[in-house]
Amino acid sequence: MNILQTEDTICAIATAQGGAIGTIRVSGPEAITLTDRIFKPVSGKPLAERAPYTLTFGHILTPEGEIIDEVLVSLFRAPHSYTGQDSTEISCHGSSYILQQVMQLLIRQGCRAAGPGEYTQRAFLNGKMDLSQAEAVADLIASTSAATHRMAMNQMRGGFSRELAVLRDKLLHLTSLMELELDFSDHEELEFADRSELEDIARQIEQVIHHLVDTFSVGNALKNGVPVAIVGETNAGKSTLLNALLNEERAIVSDIHGTTRDVIEDTMNLGGITFRFIDTAGIRETTDTIESLGIERSFQKLDQADIVLWVIDVTYAEEQYRQLADKILPRCEGKHLVIVFNKADLLSSADVNTAVSTDVQLTRLKTALPDLPEDACVLSLSAKQKEGLSQLQKQLVDFAALPDLSQNDVVVSNIRHYEALSRALEAIHRVQDGLAMQLSGDLVSQDLRECLYHLGEIVGGTIETDEVLGNIFKHFCIGK
């Protein structure tokens, strides 16, 4: 698909399969004319002679006059439509046969089947929304919780764009002061702004960009799930714990050491927060090439996680802790660590009840483990018996500590936006350094223009190539 090929008239099924009603969207210069060729109103004028924003009842007909379905057609005229072009929406019965027949009739008349995201892409190219708002459409469709819905809705309504517009205005003001200083540098008697004022404006800009960059950790966690790595030795019960948390047989469980050789990921919702659990290959010394690759990926996933569940077989607790402490603990700095003593059902005592015995033995274990981080959470459970899971789930929710968001909160959740903001932050830092070191205005202005450029990347002001836009829209669903 050529993303700049907006003169074609396109059509697509815009509703999910299996519903009672199905909708086909048509957009482009000939959308109304081509729809008229297959649609006959029950009474009155053809669509081309009707007012916009009206519904017309009628029939979809084959060239031979056979009725395919009774439908309602919504009419929109440019530029007041989703895409900014003439558009129609045909609402018919949800039969896949009917929908395909209508699509075929439209294509025979000259329509082209739309590609993924092509309607939203046309809305962007026709100035109906900026690029960040267009990307929010896909996020809104994919939202699975109240928080992700609020984030996407705020961005689609322009909350993020307005924040960037304020930043852009401040940057342009700062740039104009610097340019004036350059233009009239030979007039020493003229002073447009002293360096302290410029530094103050740059500091305000830096604070806003820095705040937006910092929100990405929350936004990414809300959108993709808080990453939780489940690590430990082979046969400690990592896969059993994953299955118990998800309440399904997601991972293969076996008494054979090294069963899990690659990472397994799945998500679940706890307390309104999405967690992305990552079951990793058991960590041990091995000469097996495939298992070694799996162990290497285990460490990669551990590094990427916000929360680490180190699963230890409680019957070999001290041994397993000592063997892996130097490999796991250094990688857990800055993360939430939960040491999970698994197989607690195997702890027993002949002269006291099991619960008391478990507590006593766990207390003894905690004091026996060397270099145990003070901020690490230590708990016991039986993944096999599904005992003690509620305590772990509560701890995960406490560690996530994600804020409640309103539709007015601006949170960055898109990796492309985060990268552009990070580059803009580096540029404004160079501006601050340049002002502090009394560098010439032309050098400082170059960094200001670079900061403006990276902010423009987010809303699409500097996006010009088919390749970049195509990469953004290719992940949209057909019909949107």
Q: What does the pLDDT look like over 149-182, one tens digit per residue?
A: 888 888 888 888 888 888 888 888 887 777 666 6
Which is more confident, 33 or 144? 33
Asked if 266 and 242 count as a contact pair (C-beta separation under 8 A), the reply is yes
Determine the average pLDDT of the residues in 86-93. Answer: 96
pTM, rounded to two decimals: 0.68
Asked if 381 and 345 count as a contact pair (C-beta separation under 8 A), the reply is no
Which is more confident, 224 or 58? 58
Q: What pLDDT score was predicted for residue 350?
A: 36
Whether the predicted pLDDT of 183 surpasses 60: no
Determine the average pLDDT of the residues in 179-201. Answer: 64
Burial 72-111 (b: 16+ CB within 10 A, else e): ebbbbebeebbbbbbbbbbbbebeeebbebbbebbeebeb
What residue type is 69 in one-letter code?
D
Helix, strand or coil for residue 259? coil
What whole-number distance in Å separates Cα of residue 164 and Cα of residue 154? 13
Which is more confident, 360 or 104? 104
Q: What pLDDT score was predicted for residue 192?
A: 52
User: What would the pLDDT profile of 23-60 be if each residue is shown by its tens digit?
Assistant: 999 999 999 999 999 999 999 999 999 999 999 999 99
- Based on its alpha-carbon atoms, the radius of gyration of the chain, rounded to whole angstroms, reads 30
The full DSSP string for 126-137 is TTSS-HHHHHHH
Whether the predicted pLDDT of 205 surpasses 50: yes
Determine the average pLDDT of the residues in 414-438. Answer: 91
Q: What pLDDT score was predicted for residue 352?
A: 40
What residue type is 184 in one-letter code?
F
Place of tokens 């396109």: 10
User: What would the pLDDT profile of 451-478 be if each residue is shown by its tens digit?
Assistant: 988 988 888 765 445 555 666 576 667 6
Q: Which two tokens stand for residue 243?
A: 């299955």
Q: What pLDDT score was predicted for residue 43?
A: 92
Determine the average pLDDT of the residues in 308-335. Answer: 86
Whether the predicted pLDDT of 14 surpasses 60: yes
